[in-house]
Amino acid sequence: MKISVIGGGYVGLVTASCFAYLGHIVQIIEIDSKKADLINQGIPPIYEEKLEEILKQTAGKNLSAQSHYEGLGDADIIFICVGTPPQDDGSADLKYIISASKSIGAALKGSKKYHVITVKSTVPPGTTESIVMPIVLELLGNGSNCVGFCMNPEFLREGRAIDDFLHPDRVVIGGSSEEAVRVVQEAYEKLDAPVITTSLKAAEMIKYTSNAFLATKISFSNEIGNICKKIGINVYEVMKGVGLDHRINPYFLNAGLGFGGSCFPKDVMALIRLAEKNGEDPVLLRSVIDINERQPGRIVQILNERIGDIRGKNITVLGLAFKDNTDDVRDSRSIPVISELLEHGAVISAYDPMAFESMKKIFPGINYHTNAGDALIGADACLVLTEWPEFSKLNDEFNLMKSRVIIEGRKILSCSGIEGVCW
């Protein structure tokens, strides 16, 4: 099939690369010409495991990128993969969705080929029907019979997105017609996964609900972990016993600093605002956010209890990305931790295998190192904030510290003499 992907960001690039890997002819439309050039050279502009390997196999063959909409009329499916960042009140900003819809409608005007315009961006329920469809159809005019509309949410975990795309738990397709759904389903025919077909609104809501539920599991685990720490119980022993219940499962029960990244925080807030707009009071969802926002402060509180006043103390921070296997620091729990440390006058040394360049843009004044050992020299305490596998091998490096006070926000360390934020 001929597929066009609007947006060469995280979701768009992974989506386009994987569809090309499956044998489709894929065109990425990315307004940043420098990013488009990198993609055409087989160089990923973001870090994602296995992405570079797939780009090298497909770029210049059946995958290409451009910064204009020429040739869009050849596409069987057009995936909208643009960002939906939060507005000041937490609701989804749909300006990029609107812009992409206008550009698609203008580019397809006069086309006689049948196209399926498919939203993959995370959007509030009703967006495809009330915003994307009217804009495109108005611009098409007499050509409105040549298009169908679908909503096909993505369920990609950063750091594991390629595997998630190629081995999905399910493929969800909401459609305006059976024909539109059939076309999108055909694009996924090489994947072994159940296909769930729904209305457009239901497909949009499935994405929000999935992320909100996973975020709820994390905040629930953290609240239980905070209680367990007070009474001397290892929360990981508790959750191991809880997670083996098939009705619950063990995933997303790891207590720690809370969730971050580009999806969970913004999607839960957007769902809260959607509920409020429709006259509902989302008490549980507000609590999920509240617990998550308070959790990073707990590790600083423990630090104060262990070493006293931290003003002028040398604190090492290991882990800056919001999770392992990515360089993404969006809503990373390390940001509020570092902010609070700086407010208290700490001197910070930091190390992360991937994310230090991204974090430099936020905190240019702290000391960044290229390995954990250098970051630990002379430290009064160490906070481990990201679950990078290489941190599990650390042991002798901690002997370089002035005092061996080690507190982790993710349970990754295997050495002795450590303490967890809620265990």
Phi, psi of 64 (to 5 degrees): -140, 160
Burial 256-289 (b: 16+ CB within 10 A, else e): bbbbbbbbbbbbbbbbbbbeeeeeeebeebeebb
Closest CA to 203 of 169, 242, 174, 246: 174
**How many Å apart are CA 347 and CA 338, to the nearest integer?**
10
Phi, psi of 205 (to 5 degrees): -70, -30
Q: What residue has token string 């402060």?
A: 297
Residue 372: burial class (beta carbons within 10 Å; 0-12, 13-18, 19+): buried
Phi, psi of 372 (to 5 degrees): -65, -40
81 is catalytic: no
Which pair of structure tokens corresponds to residue 387?
């679950």
User: Of 18, 150, 263, 422, which is the active-site residue?
Assistant: 263
Q: Is the dihedral of CA 419, 420, 422, 423 positive or negative?
A: negative
| Secondary structure (DSSP) of 87-112 | -TTSPBP-HHHHHHHHHHHHHHTT--
Q: Which residues are catalytic?
A: 263
